[in-house]
Chains A and B, each alone.
Chain A
């Protein structure tokens, strides 16, 4: 069964450093998402991406964040200058269509900012 994969599973970084979280969505999916979950808290939407552009973003997704689909398979989330409060699980998701279609989530990347 096809699945969303994410690398790395755990990333440790120093405050102020740039990190890139990588995701490989399911191959025939067209809509891509990033969510995050701070330990013990809700899953929060960050951004949705379709047709090589951002379709929606949350207030959390400020200028420090960017997304890219550099080739036909990868979908990346970059945090330019990490803060302590960026420590969280980051989940990538994809769906074949928008709106009512189910979103398939990856296993997540745990980001720890020291």
Chain B
């Protein structure tokens, strides 16, 4: 399984943008980049995913480097509710559909 590397923790102030990085230098051509988050005492929650192009949805944006060896999850205006652990996960398009969680990035948001 392709490995991802994320910072252990990040901090932000409320209403500021947050850029959460993820390195995946061994990504293969068929790996999709998925982001999930886990709010305190809750199950993981899907955030966004992409393959090559940048993606936007109501929760966040995903910026994927041209060589696909890294990506950045962008929260445009952090709220207190965005405080969570964010997981960057590679999913092989033609194989397993299980999610392999790493340790993720714990995001703290200050008022």
Contacts and interface: CB of A to CB of B under 8 A. Distances in A.
B32 A100 contact: yes
A77 to B, nearest CB: 14
Interface in A57-87: 58
Nearest to A57: B98
Contact of A105 (B43, B97, B98, B100): B43
Query: Do most interface residues of chain B lie in helix, strand or loop, or is the interface mixed?
Result: loop
Interface string A76-114: 000000000000000101010011111111111000000
A65 to B, nearest CB: 15
A1 B32 CA distance: 26
A105 B94 contact: no
Give the contact-size bracket for chain A. Answer: 20 to 34
Interface residues of B, number: 21
A107 B41 CA distance: 8
A98 B99 CA distance: 11
Interface of B: 32, 34, 38, 42-46, 49, 87, 91, 93-94, 96-103
Interface of A: 4, 31, 33, 35, 42-45, 48, 55-56, 58, 91, 93, 95, 98-108
